[in-house]
Amino acid sequence: MPNMKIAVIGGDGTGPEVTAEALKVMDAAAKLEGFTVEKTDFGFGGDHYLKTGEILPEGAVDELKKFDAIFLGAVGHPDVAPGILEKGLLLQLRFQLDQYINLRPVKLYPGVETPLKDKTPEDIDFVVVRENTEDLYAGIGGFLKKGSADEVATQTAIYSRKGCERWLRWAFEYTQKRNNPKGKKLTLVAKTNVLTYGHDLIWRTFQEVAKDYPDVEPDYNHVDACCMWMVKNPEYYDVIATTNMFGDIITDLGGIIQGGMGVAAGGNINPDAGGTSMYEPMGGSAPKYTGKNVINPIAAISAAAMLLEHTGQPAAGARVMKAIQTVTGTKMKSQSAGKMGYSTTEVGDLVVDALS
Amino acid sequence: MPNMKIAVIGGDGTGPEVTAEALKVMDAAAKLEGFTVEKTDFGFGGDHYLKTGEILPEGAVDELKKFDAIFLGAVGHPDVAPGILEKGLLLQLRFQLDQYINLRPVKLYPGVETPLKDKTPEDIDFVVVRENTEDLYAGIGGFLKKGSADEVATQTAIYSRKGCERWLRWAFEYTQKRNNPKGKKLTLVAKTNVLTYGHDLIWRTFQEVAKDYPDVEPDYNHVDACCMWMVKNPEYYDVIATTNMFGDIITDLGGIIQGGMGVAAGGNINPDAGGTSMYEPMGGSAPKYTGKNVINPIAAISAAAMLLEHTGQPAAGARVMKAIQTVTGTKMKSQSAGKMGYSTTEVGDLVVDALS
Ligand SMILES: CC(C)[C@H](C(=O)O)[C@@H](O)C(=O)O
Ligand SMILES: CC(C)[C@H](C(=O)O)[C@@H](O)C(=O)O
């Protein structure tokens, strides 16, 4: 059986703790499925930056490209100004590795509490396909008369036909494969009535690409309406395709309705041949819980399940996903740090036990 | 007593129906407080556009400037392509009348159901101060190689120091006046870690303006975190200041947690001397309910309360706001169209009765 080679960036705060549990579960699932996972640690993050002044060393991206996938714990350090590590590490990797899909399943696991009334795991089960390389994240803008009373600042969203097409095509294909028994529906979430240039390109591309997927129902929501709908009728959604900026917003909303940062995970995917993808729990580095063995590793373990699923080991991925749901549904008291009824490592052990 | 002169744009669909109730309540409140409201109808909207091809006739804006305030019912017509009326009427008026504050109270009235678990009217009671004239709403952008495989589209957000300052100053002053017994706190909601040009100007302006309001706690949330927090801990917020685009998104989220489009209202305010402001319920024109006398007028009546409050009649405004809460708290069965237990006009009558 071929080894899977992954690069591990544990990162800051509780990142390494949840990463350890994710790797433990990955190893156990691999053993059951008859393959092995070879791990190489990369010590990037706040501490490395504070010691060396560098975030991603020269050549790091080329090095990372040699792996089958990357696992990222968390970035964010109390002694580093906000934005530095996020931009220098997370966004750099997304861009330089051309991970143009940000995949965010919004799924309420059994036993997990949602802040929404009367919603069950059947109601909260959709996937957001966020574009991950364009839009306002291009980092383009500037200042006129900076610091004066007449200052003007700009920030430009850029979209390319190629960028829209590869993302939307992937979203249609994903919707097709997801094969929701309630009906295959892809909802584009944008703001075409106001962003009449940028989102017009997206809208035209969406309509054209849709023709190639006649079994998928193309649907549209303005982003403001989508936020209402996600709270009121999350069962309406199957797959959502949205832009980088709006995706940032609605996936956090999705994260909270599925039970919060302790459970939400995402993949930064480059689906092209030879592409390197990166999987991460959505929570931050949670500095105040560091070293206490109380943080919830379920999000990290979910990220591991996604990694396996999308890196040629779907059976192992499905096995982990099922084990997670056994543990949330029958064991854990809460998904909040310190209230789980178990320690971080114990939750990892419970998932390992539930694998077989 | 001086008359108050208002311009009334009933608009499309159910717009005129809810407007009629709002005006009825306004008249009754004015009578009790000893003043009169003179109303002038403007027939703008989808029908007018379909008949004449014009949205805002020549000179209309100058005409509207002569009034003390504008009441807008709803725009949106099934036979008019989405965006046309919203841009041609609503956004035009916001821009041309320089209504730089979009004020959106997020308040759960007694008896109204929120989709959030365990949240009471004490928990959901904050105000969003959305900037209303800049940002991505500038309508600036373009296409390169439109229609080709190499097409690129841009959409530019522009912010000015002047625009940021007047909006943020207003927000600080509003927070001061609101005088929340839990503590005066103004939370700026932006995305400084990614929008490092545009939102840097906002951030710098926020910090400088904050110095003039030492009794207000300046606070900051990234927009993605804010969406989570609004659902999980809405009681955290007192006043939120945010940009036009993010405000569009989070005020709809606010609308749903306060019980939906049947109750949410907003003001487009030009607070400068001689400025003309416009108040509107947040719901759309709801064409399928038109003429059925089943739509909920509470949002429109709330908009009327805001109009009175901000147009020199705060006592009348407070009286209407109190009456609304009596009716939602003791009479109405639901805030959804057709399920209120009363017709549109009956709800209007109930509020009138509750005024005294
Ligand atoms: C940390 C930040 C730059 C990042 C983003 O804005 O994309 C995060 O919010 C996310 O959603 O992964
Ligand atoms: C109708 C639309 C143009 C408008 C906006 O985007 O501002 C609406 O959503 C609002 O929030 O008032």
How far apart CA B16 and CA B39 sit, in angstroms, is: 14
The answer to whether B256 and B104 have CB atoms below 8 angstroms apart is no
pLDDT digit string (tens) for A288-303?
Answer: 999 999 999 999 999 9
What CATH code would you report for B125-257?
3.40.718.10
pLDDT for A2: 62
Residues 12-41 in B contacting A (C-alpha not used; CB under 8 Å)? none
Nearest to A195 among B142, B155, B261 (CB): B155
Q: What is the signed CA dihedral for B265, A237, B157, B92, rounded to 10 degrees?
A: -40
Query: Cα angle vertex A59, ends A53, A62, to 5°?
Result: 135
Write out the H or E segment, with its range, that includes residue B267: strand B265-269
Name chain A contacts of B95, Cβ cutoff 8 Å: none
- How far does residue B248's CA lie from ligand 2's centre (Å)? 6
Pairing of strands A277-281, B217-222: unpaired
The answer to whether B313 and B38 have CB atoms below 8 angstroms apart is no
Chain B: give the shortest CA distance to residue A254, in Å: 8
Mutation to probe ligand 2, out of B130, B245, B248, B282 (largest number of atoms < 8 A from CB): B248
Name chain A contacts of B197, Cβ cutoff 8 Å: 141-143, 153-155
Domain boundaries, chain A: 1-100+264-356, 115-257
Q: Which residues of chain B have pLDDT under 70?
A: 1-2
B241: closest CA among B101, B122, B135, B134? B101
Alpha-helical regions (H) of chain A: 15-33, 46-52, 60-64, 84-85, 92-96, 161-178, 198-210, 223-232, 244-257, 298-310, 314-330, 344-354
How far apart CA A324 and CA A259 sit, in angstroms, is: 14
| Edge-to-edge order in the sheet of strand A239-242 | A37-41, A4-11, A69-74, A277-281, A265-269, A101-107, A125-131, A239-242, A185-190, A217-222
The answer to whether B294 and B335 have CB atoms below 8 angstroms apart is no
For B211, other C-beta atoms within 10 Å of its C-beta total 9
Q: Distances in Å between the alpha carbon of A23 and those of A73, A90, A286, A341? A: 11, 20, 19, 22
Alpha-helical regions (H) of A179-222: 198-210
Query: Cα angle vertex B18, ends B13, B20, to 5°?
Result: 110
Q: Which CATH architecture has domain B1-114+260-356?
A: 3-Layer(aba) Sandwich (3.40)
Atom of ligand 2 nearest to the CA of A224: 9
Contact assignment for B161 to A151 by CB distance below 8 Å? yes
Chain B: give the shortest CA distance to residue A353, in Å: 32
pLDDT for A83: 84
- CA count, 13 A, side-chain hemisphere, A141: 28
List ligand 2's pocket residues with C-beta within 6 A.
A 193-194, 224; B 86, 90-91, 248
How far apart CA B298 and CA B332 sit, in angstroms, is: 10
DSSP letter for each residue of B19-39: HHHHHHHHHHHHHHHT--EEE
Contact assignment for B224 to A157 by CB distance below 8 Å? no
Q: Distances in Å between the alpha carbon of B53 and those of A14, A66, B12? A: 61, 61, 15
- How far does residue B186's CA lie from ligand 2's centre (Å)? 23
How far apart CA B93 and CA B81 sit, in angstroms, is: 19
User: What are the tokens at A284?
Assistant: 């931050």
Write the class of the CATH domain A115-257: alpha beta
Chain B: give the shortest CA distance to residue A66, in Å: 28
Name chain B contacts of A86, Cβ cutoff 8 Å: 193-194
- CA Rg value for chain A: 20
How far apart CA B183 and CA B179 sit, in angstroms, is: 7
Write out the H or E segment, with its range, that includes residue B308: helix B298-310
Contact assignment for B136 to A194 by CB distance below 8 Å? yes
pLDDT for A283: 87
Atom of ligand 1 nearest to the CA of A247: 11
How far apart CA A26 and CA A316 sit, in angstroms, is: 8
| Phi-psi sector, B152: left (phi>0), alpha (psi -120 to 50), beta | beta
Which residues contact residue A147 at a Cβ distance below 8 angstroms, ignoring those fewer than 6 apart?
none
pLDDT for A82: 81
- CA Rg value for chain B: 20
Q: Which residues of chain A have pLDDT under 50?
A: 1
> Could you say which DSSP state residue A225 is in?
H
What's the full length of chain B, in residues? 356
Which residues contact residue B201 at a Cβ distance below 8 angstroms, ignoring those fewer than 6 apart?
A143, A151, A153, B159, B161, B164
How far apart CA A127 and CA A241 sit, in angstroms, is: 9
- How far does residue B179's CA lie from ligand 2's centre (Å)? 29
> Do B1-114+260-356 and B125-257 agree at the fold level?
yes
Residues 124-183 in B contacting A (C-alpha not used; CB under 8 Å)? 136-137, 139, 141-143, 148-162
Q: Is B193 helix (H, G, I), strand (E, B) or coil?
A: coil
Name chain B contacts of A150, Cβ cutoff 8 Å: 160-162
Pairing of strands A265-269, B217-222: unpaired
Contact assignment for B159 to A148 by CB distance below 8 Å? no
Q: Which residue of B227, B243, B258 is the best one to mutate when testing the A interface, meaning the one whose CB has the most A CBs within 10 A?
A: B227
> Could you say which DSSP state residue B89 is in?
I
A233 touching B (Cβ < 8 Å): no
- How far does residue A244's CA lie from ligand 1's centre (Å)? 9
Write the class of the CATH domain A1-100+264-356: alpha beta
B137: closest CA among B154, B152, B158? B158
**Terminal C-alpha separation, chain B:** 20
What positions of A carry a catalytic annotation?
137, 191, 224, 248, 252
List ligand 1's pocket residues with C-beta within 6 A.
A 86, 90-91, 248; B 193-194, 224
